[in-house]
Amino acid sequence: MISFHRSHFARLFAAICLTLTILTASAAERPWTHGPLKVSANNRFLCHSDGTPFFWLGDTGWLLPQRLDRDEAAHYLRRTAADGYNVVQIQVINGVPSFNTYGAPSHPDGWNLAAIDSIPGYGYWDHLDYIVDLAEREGIYIGMVCIWGGLVKAGLMDCDQAKAYGTFLARRYASRPNIIWIIGGDIQGNIRTAEWDTLATTIRAIDPGHLMTFHPRGRTTSARWFNDRPWLDFNMFQSGHRRYDQRMGNKDYPIPDGTEEDVWMYVDSATVRQPLRPVLDGEPSYEDIPQGLHSDLEPRWNDLDVRRYAYWSVFAGSCGHTYGHNAIMQFVRPGVNGAYFADGQAKPWWKALSDPGRGQMKQLKHLMLAFPYFERRPDSLIVRDNGIRYQRLLATRGTDWLMVYNHTSRPMTLDLSRITGSNKHLWLMNPANGSLIYIGTHSRPHLTIDPRKIPGAPAADCVLIATDTRANYLTPQTTAIPVTLPAPPKKDLTE
C-alpha cells in the first residue's frame, strides 16, 4: 500500500528540481570543454573524454546551409540552443552543385575543390564555415550529412570523387570541435556501398577525432549493413513517417507488417548485434508532417506523437534522439513552399520554432541526465501484461530507480522489485512540461495504478518514476533550493 511521508522525499524532490534547473541554465554550455565525444565504456552511450555523459538531442535542419542567410542562421541556432538541443543535422550539399541563399555554388569546378576559397563573396563553403562557427558559439554540434543518398544513387559521386570530397571535408573541418560525421542520407546501405565506404574511410583517415555514423532509409538501421565497419562509432536508424499499416508497397521491409510506429523495435534490432554500439533515431515522424508523407488529406503528426517516438526510443535503450519539423527541416517561408505540403505562407520556419513538440524535447534530456546515466538499461520485465501499439509501455531503469513511459496514461501493473529497496517513492512526470506530481511511497513488490485517477495528472501521456527511498541523487550543490511541494493525495491510488 502507499503511505505518505513528505519529510522523507523532500530532499530527493528538491535535488531533482535543482538538477533540472542547473541543466536548463547551462543549455548553451560548450560541451566539448569536457573533451571530444567518444563511445562510453559499456558501448551503449556517448560521453566526453572526461567521462561527462552526452545525451544527443538533435534538431533536423537539413537545408540550413542552402536556405538561410547569416542573420537567419544565427537566429535559428540561438533558438535551437535555448530549446535545449545540442546537435543540428544538416545536408552539407543537396545537389551537385548545391547553391546557398547568396547564389554561390558548392561545386564551381566539379569535384575539383582545390581553389574553392578563391571565390569572392559569401562562397558556399565560406558560408558553411560561418554556420559551423555560429553553432560552436551556441554549444551545438553540427551533424554533417556529407551528401544526400539520392545524389550518390544517381551516379553523381563515384569512388574517386568520394575520396576527393572526403579529403576536402576532413581537412577543412577536422580541427573544429563541434563536428559529427554522418555518412549516407536517406538511403539503404546496400546501394552504392563502395562509395559510402570510400567516403567514410577517407574522412576517418584524416580525422580520427570526430564520431561517425550512417543515416539510412526509412524503417531501416545502419546496423544492417555497417555494424562491423571500423569507421562506424554508433548506429542510426530512421523510424520514418508512416502510420501503422502504411506499408506503401515497400518490398524490402525489415520489420513485420503493422509495426511501422513501433520505434523500439529498431533499437532492439541494433543492440542484439556484435559488436555492441550505441544507437539512436536520426529521423522519426516530424511534427506537422502528413502521416505517410504523400497526402495532405492525412492527419499530421503532433506533439503527442513526437513525444511518443522520443520516449519509446530512449527508454528502449537509445543514446539520444533527433526531433524534426516539416517546416523547419526545409526552412519554408512566404514564397518558398516545401515538400510534403509544407506551406511557407501559413507557417514559415520561424513560426514553427514555437510549435509545442519542439519545445518539449528538452524535458527528456533533462530527465535522463538527472539520474545515474551509464547504468540505464531497458527492462521489459518491469511491465506486467504489456499492450500493443499505442497501449505499449516502455520501461527503463538503473540500480535503484526506474521509469515507465505510458503514452495513453492507461492503468498499469509494474514490478517494482526490479530495483533495490523495500520501499519506493513514486512520482508522475508530465513529459510536455517536465512537472512532477508526488504520489507517495509503496512497500509492495508490485504496483497497480491508474494515472488518470491521480489529481493533477497529465491529460495525455505520462512518465511514472520510482526510486528506492534510500536513494539520494544530489548534485555538488547540496543546499536545496526553496521548493513548494505538491500536496499528497488523500487516499491510496494503487492496489
**Average of per-residue pLDDT values in the chain:** 88
Q: What is the pLDDT of residue 29?
A: 72
Does the pLDDT at position 478 exceed 90? no
* Separation between Cα atoms, residue 439 and residue 427, nearest integer Å: 5
Task: State the helix-helix crossing angle for 264-271 and 303-315, rounded to 10 degrees.
Answer: 20
Q: What is the pLDDT of residue 246?
A: 80
User: How much is the pTM?
Assistant: 0.89
Count other C-beta atoms under 10 Å from residue 400's C-beta: 20
Q: What is the mean pLDDT of residues 24-52?
A: 87
Range from 78-82, 119-123, 475-479 that averages highest in pLDDT: 78-82
267 touches 380 (CB < 8 A): no
Domains defined for the chain, CATH in brackets: 2-17+377-468 (2.60.40), 56-369 (3.20.20.80)
**How do residues 57-116 score in pLDDT, each as one tens digit?**
999 999 999 999 999 999 999 999 999 999 999 999 999 999 999 999 999 999 999 888
Does the pLDDT at position 460 exceed 60? yes
* Separation between Cα atoms, residue 432 and residue 438, nearest integer Å: 17
